[in-house]
Amino acid sequence: MVSIVWRPCPWVRSPDFQLEVSAVQLDEVTVNVVTGLERRRRQLGSNSATVDAADVNKAQIQDFSDFLIGRAEGVIMNDVSGDVGTSQRIRIRGSASISLSNEPLVIVDGVYFANPVSGDGVFNGLTGGQEPSRLNDLSPDEIENIEVIKGPAAAALYGTVGANGVILITTKRGTPGGTDWHFYGEGAQLEDRTDYPLNYAAIENISGNTSAPVFDEGGFNSDDWVACNNHEAAAGDCTQEQFLTFNTLRDPRTTIFQKGSRALYGVNVGGGTPTSTYFLSGEYKDEDGVLDFDLNNEEKWNVRANLDAALADNLNASLSIGFVARDVVFMSQDNSIFSSLLGGLAGMAGFVPGGHPNEATGGPNPENYLFNRNLIDQQEASQNAQDTDRFTGSINASWQPLEWLSAQGTFGIDLASNFDSWTVQPGLDNLTSTWVMGRRDAARAERQNWTGNVSVSGSVDIPGTDISSVTTVGASYQEELLNGVICFGSGLIEGTDSCASTSVLFDVDENFLNVVTVGAFAQQEFSLADRLFVTGSLRMDDNSNFGGNATQEYYPSASVSYLLSDEGFFPQSDLISELRLRGSWGVAGLRPAFRDAITLFGPITATFGGENLPGVTLSETGNELLKPERSTEWEAGADLGLFQDRVGVGFTYFRKSSKDALIERRLAPSFGLTTTLFQNLGEITNQGTEMSLRALVLDKRDARVNVTLQWTTLKNEIVALGEDVEPITFGDQRHEEGNPAGSFFSEPFTFNDADGNGLLSIDEVDAGDEDEFINEAFPTYTASLNLDVELFQFLRASTLFDARGGNSTRNLTEDFRCDRYFLDGRGCEATASQNASLEDQARWLASRFGGTNTGFLEEADFIKWREISFTLTAPPSLASKHMLLERTSLTFSGRNLQTFTDYTGLDPEANDQGASSNFQQREFNTQPPIRVFTLRLDVRF
């Protein structure tokens, strides 16, 4: 059964009513945040995706991002790390910008919600690559539904910030009637189930002394043995007499992992009268990650109050208030010198021999892994933390002075205050002097997002026709303000944690950002007999980030939706019960970054007449002609209902072209300016398909089965970088005309085991001289399968599978582990195991001696078993005797249960560059997504 709540306006609650079972959701109500108008999905010419929070088992949802993984076609949500509190990378219909962020706009209850994935503080580089997530400030139990506006064809009214798509989040509200209480609590166990690889060593005895070769954090602890790796043995330079293996991260005596835990408790209450309603909620969460010694944890309080009132017969108002206090401690990982995960993968725990020659045996030496343990102890004493206080509030009003005339307005603020801190106490060995002396990094930042939208709508029915018209005009104002202070110093007084306690290298800086957008818009809608809908709109924007010589930007759009099956001539049959054709076209933009259009000068100290005086020097060359990147998109599709709407099929084709893309081009030194300048030069396209199948497979009294299948394809291409602009290279990836953005390029290599001994020497591997296209960095297809089963009216089971592919990632973890051999004799299987494949040996030798990483650019296709849950409610016969049991449920769920992939690294989804990396994709000592088992109790009365 599909439940629909119809609201004449968002603030007056009407009783719920139910429709017949349908997999086609054309009467689902959506709200346009810009105009304030509600529309049924049948009226929309674009394909948006809606996730109803009531349909998703909350025990499966750890953070907000889990709502969207596998539940919205065209949306890729990457779990770049398994750390508690870290962010996720979101892409909607691909990446449309080369230089600007490709993250979507987020709006909560009409307010622009800040989601700066790059952070406002000191995290970049200090945690290795991961950043905190602002989206996860939200509590999943506060959310009513999520709507994804996928591209310019649908987001044109959002103007200069809508090109990457929009995520609209609506929080819960009360309904008229008695007071409805909801108590819930859950406990979860977090596990790292990664199959971490072994460390290897192959050694030769050079003295005849049979003393045991012992490894510790510094390498060999014996003068009687030397390393003899595979390529040296293949060349005849040494003889491999003994093989040793160990696994620091999995051995119970040396592992750095524990079983993490999460406790969550919450309560909400809602109710009201026909003229006023309320929803109040509070929640507390305490979560510890899987790394030992309390190095990764989160504590969070959420409070919310939503109030709605009819102030007069024609005037309604709504108030939404949310507050979160969130404290997160992050672990150092990725490319961080403090990463204990890196230490374990590199074999810094040491090991002792065992067995006889030619056997891969041996074990860890728990007395000789002080380096890794010191790192853990240091992190425990000097935690990398962020404390956040966040307030989000909005006031909405709807006034209808005449039957045909209405006005809507939304005003609100999103205010987030962060304190980031990181301390390294003095005395840590084996590191640079800066660390040995101790250091302190701290940052305080306050970010404000102000939102204001007003609109007036007039609706008329044209006499003598079946045509209805709605005309809307309005204006909007958005302002983003950031103020922050950052300090750094070394030479820390032991036991303190303040920049004021540092004695050398002290530095302080301030961050400032102020971006204002003023817009005006008009929209005209026509409908014919409630089956043909035509809409056109135009938005004008002026933004403070535009260059001083730039003018206002205009963003038009048009759409059509036609319910062909409602026509009298459409054949009625049990096979095709509903058919809708739709199409849309629109333009949206992305503004330049703050101050890119302005020439900036930085402070220096100049000596004049023997006296030090303040001076300035050119630090950034601005471009007064800068204007926004413009994305033009068109889409066409159809929605089909089969077998009396028990099966719903949707198909969409889209093509998005982004022109005037900002390119950071290099300047000739003869100009006397800085080395780079931003210009609107490039063009990039994204095109693809979105398909969905929703089916009520079985509908019986004691059994119901629903299946949802989604499939998305995507093709990305850089059409132009601009005249005389060379390909932009970053590591193994490149922006090059005619190829997908951020593609992998590297030299090919060949190998030949000429003597057939199963070991390759350097001479048996030949690397090429020129780079070749290897593969894309982002998936070219995504798919998901969701199965939901209800049995005997008291048992519900659901599961979700998620698949992605067509792209590659760099397995830098294995590349690094192999190269460890040259530091202390420990390495990967390819360096020191007779069982190593020729392919693995060749890719390492090609990387080390041939300068090509092609062998470590692996296909990242995968299928993940994301979720499974079982919910038990009281049987009707028992619930009728005990009223409290009627709305009580117990749920057991699992998340990230299994990954099916040919990728040989830690996880094909992980990314050591974090969510803020626009295109970089590699995995380097990154904590993979973790497995979570949750038990949840819900009690309602």
Tell me whether residue 443 is exposed, middle or buried, using C-beta atoms within 10 angstroms of its C-beta: 0 to 12, 13 to 18, 19 or more.
buried
Question: What would the pLDDT profile of 598-612 be if each residue is shown by its tens digit?
Answer: 877 777 777 777 777
- Comparison of pLDDT for 340 and 158, the residue scoring more: 158
d(Cα 892, Cα 870) in Å, to the nearest integer? 5
882 pLDDT above the threshold of 80: no
Partners of 169 in beta bridges: 108, 146
Half-sphere exposure of 753 (CA within 13 A, CB side): 14
The whole-number pLDDT of residue 698 equals 92
Per-residue pLDDT band for 663 (boundaries 50, 70, 90) equals confident
779 pLDDT above the threshold of 90: yes
18 pLDDT above the threshold of 70: no
Looking only at the bridges linking them, the beta strands covering 703-720 and 728-730 are unpaired
The whole-number pLDDT of residue 860 equals 96
The whole-number pLDDT of residue 361 equals 39
Question: What would the pLDDT profile of 489-505 be if each residue is shown by its tens digit?
Answer: 988 888 888 899 898 88
The whole-number pLDDT of residue 354 equals 39
Looking only at the bridges linking them, the beta strands covering 808-811 and 922-923 are parallel
737 pLDDT above the threshold of 80: yes
431 pLDDT above the threshold of 60: no
Report long-range pairs for 458-467 (Cβ below 8 Å, ≥24 apart).
458/404, 458/405, 458/406, 459/404, 459/406, 460/404, 466/528, 466/529, 467/526, 467/527, 467/528
The whole-number pLDDT of residue 380 equals 59
Per-residue pLDDT band for 5 (boundaries 50, 70, 90) equals very low
Question: What would the pLDDT profile of 690-722 be if each residue is shown by its tens digit?
Answer: 999 999 999 998 899 999 999 999 999 999 998
Question: What would the pLDDT profile of 559-588 be if each residue is shown by its tens digit?
Answer: 999 999 999 899 888 899 999 999 999 999
The whole-number pLDDT of residue 382 equals 59
Q: Range with the lowest mean pLDDT among 21-35, 421-435, 732-746? A: 421-435
d(Cα 596, Cα 616) in Å, to the nearest integer? 19
The whole-number pLDDT of residue 353 equals 41
* Region 126-137 average pLDDT: 78
The whole-number pLDDT of residue 496 equals 85
The whole-number pLDDT of residue 129 equals 74
Per-residue pLDDT band for 369 (boundaries 50, 70, 90) equals very low
- Asked if 631 contacts 589 with a C-beta cutoff of 8 angstroms, the reply is yes
Per-residue pLDDT band for 884 (boundaries 50, 70, 90) equals low
The whole-number pLDDT of residue 481 equals 94
21 pLDDT above the threshold of 90: no
d(Cα 905, Cα 127) in Å, to the nearest integer? 21
363 pLDDT above the threshold of 70: no
* Region 346-361 average pLDDT: 44
Q: What percent of the chain has pLDDT over 70?
A: 87
Instruction: DSSP letter for 602, please.
Output: E
How wide is the angle at C-alpha 146 spanned by C-alphas 142 and 148, nearest 5°? Answer: 155
Tell me whether residue 208 is exposed, middle or buried, using C-beta atoms within 10 angstroms of its C-beta: 0 to 12, 13 to 18, 19 or more.
exposed
- Comparison of pLDDT for 352 and 287, the residue scoring more: 287
- Asked if 68 contacts 91 with a C-beta cutoff of 8 angstroms, the reply is no
d(Cα 243, Cα 203) in Å, to the nearest integer? 7
Q: Which of 624, 663, 632 is closest to 546 using CA atoms?
A: 624
The widest CA-to-CA distance across the chain, in whole angstroms, is 107
- Asked if 906 contacts 194 with a C-beta cutoff of 8 angstroms, the reply is yes
Q: Which secondary structure element, helix H or strand E, spans residue 711, and what is its range?
A: strand 703-720
264 pLDDT above the threshold of 60: yes
The whole-number pLDDT of residue 358 equals 31
Average pLDDT, whole number, for the chain? Answer: 85
* Region 248-261 average pLDDT: 81
- Asked if 453 contacts 478 with a C-beta cutoff of 8 angstroms, the reply is no
19 pLDDT above the threshold of 50: no
The whole-number pLDDT of residue 255 equals 79
d(Cα 373, Cα 383) in Å, to the nearest integer? 15
Question: What would the pLDDT profile of 580-595 be if each residue is shown by its tens digit?
Answer: 999 999 999 998 888 8
C-beta atoms surrounding 674 within 10 Å: 16
Question: What would the pLDDT profile of 829-850 be if each residue is shown by its tens digit?
Answer: 999 888 999 999 999 999 999 9
- Asked if 489 contacts 506 with a C-beta cutoff of 8 angstroms, the reply is yes
Question: What would the pLDDT profile of 781-821 be if each residue is shown by its tens digit?
Answer: 999 999 999 998 889 999 999 999 999 999 999 998 888 76
Q: Range with the lowest mean pLDDT among 354-363, 376-385, 408-417, 870-879? A: 354-363
Tell me whether residue 883 is exposed, middle or buried, using C-beta atoms within 10 angstroms of its C-beta: 0 to 12, 13 to 18, 19 or more.
exposed
The whole-number pLDDT of residue 211 equals 64
If phi over 0 gives left and psi between -120 and 50 gives alpha, with beta otherwise, what is residue 685? beta
